Amino acid sequence: MGRSSIPIVGILLLCCLVAVSEAGYLKYKDPKQPLNVRIKDLLKRMTLEEKIGQMAQIERTLATPDVVKKYFIGSVLSGAGSVPATKASAQVWVQMVNGFQKPALSTRLGIPMMYGADAIHGNNNVYNATIFPHNIGLGVTRDPMLVKKIGKATALEVRGTGIPYVFAPSITVCRDPRWGRCYESFSENPKIVEAMTEIIYGFQGDIPPNSKKGFPFVAGKKNVATCAEHYVGNGGTRRGVDDGNTVISWKDLRSIHMPPINDSISKGVTSIMISLASLNGTKMHANRDLITGYLKSKLKFKGFVMSNWRGIDRITSPPHSNYSYSVQAGVSAGIDMFMIVTNVTGFIDELTLQVKKGIITMRRINDAVERILRVKFIMGLFENPLADLSMASQIGSKEHRELAREAVRKSLVLLKNGKPKQKPLLPLPKKTAKILIAGSHAHNLGYQCGGWTITWQGFGGNDRTLGTTILNAVQQAVDPATKVVYNETPDAKFVKSNKFSYAIVAVGEHPYAEKHGDNLNLTIAEPGPNTINNVCDHVKCVVVLVTGRPVVIQPYLSKIDALVAAWLPGTEGQGVADLLFGDYGFTGKLARTWFKTVDQLPMNVGDKHYDPLFPFGFGLTTEPTKYFT
């Protein structure tokens, strides 16, 4: 008995050493382990509280280090215009992101937080970022490779502020320009929108050839995870009402609104955001058939499903009137991560209670958390959780601004060039006596960029970020001997008395976003019409429309010599001047039908009673001119 005790003690000691060794080794922290092994290892270690925390994405104004740590928060976001400081530098952004990340890493399991922000047309919350043309202009280019380059440039500028996840791209097919989000859509034609999902490769990097369809992918630290918006059909609501109801057959839904979703999944998109609208009377946030049944089961999407801003609150009418039901409906439908913008504990406490009561199953919770963890591992967040300033110089870089300038050139559409029996007005001569630059949008960077720029609704003026207005661009483009006169709202007497060689009139819509842009009239903002009349009645004029969609132009068309649709070109106004003065030729073709009157709407290419002012695909061309001075 005494002799045999020695080996028994040795065995016990060996077992203890093995146990200690296994406790010190965490498979989920080992990048050499297969992805599924890491996910399963971490998932089995997590408590219910830690899992539900991963499902919460909270607005930065609600986030503190204590909140992130106490509730195991999985994600923090900057809503539109939600910034750490006015005109914040890259350093301030990075410090803020890391200020939320460090408490997440200090929790028991050290699961990194994922910071997200809008990147609708560039890193649009950030001072001095390159603001690219909105998607309505990019659809005009018919150039997926250009859009991919824009995605890559935007990813670098977003990473420059320490952010690894963006709410972009918008892959909605807008079927009615009265909708306030129509400019976020590449086209009314699903084939163009489908082609432009190439931007996902720019954001996330090229997917490996052997990757499984539906499997999310992010190439590395120079790329960002994306969130395709919005699933599904919100571009087809009745009368273009934001968050309204889309009445559509299953056949038309699949042929019009689903193709860009399918393409995004095949390109490895990491997350998909649910639409705030209803589909045939059912709120998409509560549509289990389309989220779990179709998106996850049929299409085999393996990323995570993201709710929209107060999305589950708006399942009920009025919003938040039955929050318990909203949480149950949203989670049961298959949403994995929830955007929380008012009350952190309200969502967490309610979901925890429903799981403990058996209303929500642990299987559903595990599915959500598994998907979120999969994306975090794929992003490399566990290996590189903290942001740095290594890409701060990418913000507003010369290379990116030149890319944006190219995008502007390719996105403009020449709708008219000369009156009947007269020579074309464009390209304009750079050397002439005196020219007039007029209109509310000629020298207004905020108007030029539109909504989702610095703030949610955009801004007016030139003091909120950096860029080149149309006036600035014209002044740089013309011959030094040409006198440029700027008068925002000239009266007829002023125009007649000055003997201008020609005039450039830039007018359009004031900035808006989402429901604030819903518009049944689609008229040019005042005093735009008066400016057109006062100028174009008395001098040869080119009218540049700065708008988020086609607008009513027919009443003024006969008096206008040349008409250009510039859409919302962003910060690089030089691209407009490049075409007006012939350094490059016009090549853009309409990606949206231009109506005669709003009574025709909705009207899209292929409709039986298609009678547009300018049809889908229309666009005059010009040849570049070499100037010698």
Order of strands across the sheet with 225-231? 304-306, 271-274, 225-231, 165-167, 114-118, 75-78, 56-59, 338-340
Pairing of strands 413-417, 562-565: antiparallel
Render 89-115 in DSSP notation, one character per residue. Answer: -HHHHHHHHHHHHHHHHTSSS-PPPEE
CA dihedral 37, 39, 45, 47 (to 10 degrees): -160
The per-residue pLDDT for 288 is: 98
Q: Give the integer Cα–Cα distance in Å for 299 and 292.
A: 10
Q: Give the integer Cα–Cα distance in Å for 320 and 285.
A: 13
Helix (H, G, I), strand (E, B) or coil at 246: strand
The per-residue pLDDT for 24 is: 79
Q: 107 and 42 in contact (C-beta within 8 Å)? A: no
Pairing of strands 278-279, 282-283: antiparallel
Which regions of 3-83 does DSSP assign to beta strands (E)?
A: 56-59, 75-78
Q: Give the integer Cα–Cα distance in Å for 23 and 38.
A: 15
Greatest pairwise CA separation for the chain in angstroms: 120
pLDDT in tens, 29-71: 999 999 999 999 999 999 999 999 999 999 999 999 999 999 9
Close Cβ partners of 210 (under 8 Å, ≥ 6 residues apart): none
Closest CA to 310 of 114, 498, 489, 514: 514
Amino acid at 313: D
Question: Model's pTM, two decimal places?
Answer: 0.96
The per-residue pLDDT for 575 is: 98
Q: Give the integer Cα–Cα distance in Å for 328 and 360.
A: 7
Amino acid at 543: V
**What is the token pair recorded at 101?**
């990340």
Closest CA to 270 of 123, 164, 121: 164
Number of residues assigned to the chain: 629
Q: 200 and 269 in contact (C-beta within 8 Å)? A: yes
The per-residue pLDDT for 8 is: 54
Buried b (16+ CB within 10 A) or exposed e, 80-101: bbbbbeeebbbeebbebbbbbb
In this prediction, the residues of the chain whose per-residue pLDDT falls under 50 are 1-6, 9, 11, 13-21, 628-629
Question: Which residue, chain included where needed, has tokens 């699961």?
Answer: 111
Close Cβ partners of 337 (under 8 Å, ≥ 6 residues apart): 54, 55, 56, 57, 74, 75, 271, 304, 305, 306, 307, 368, 372
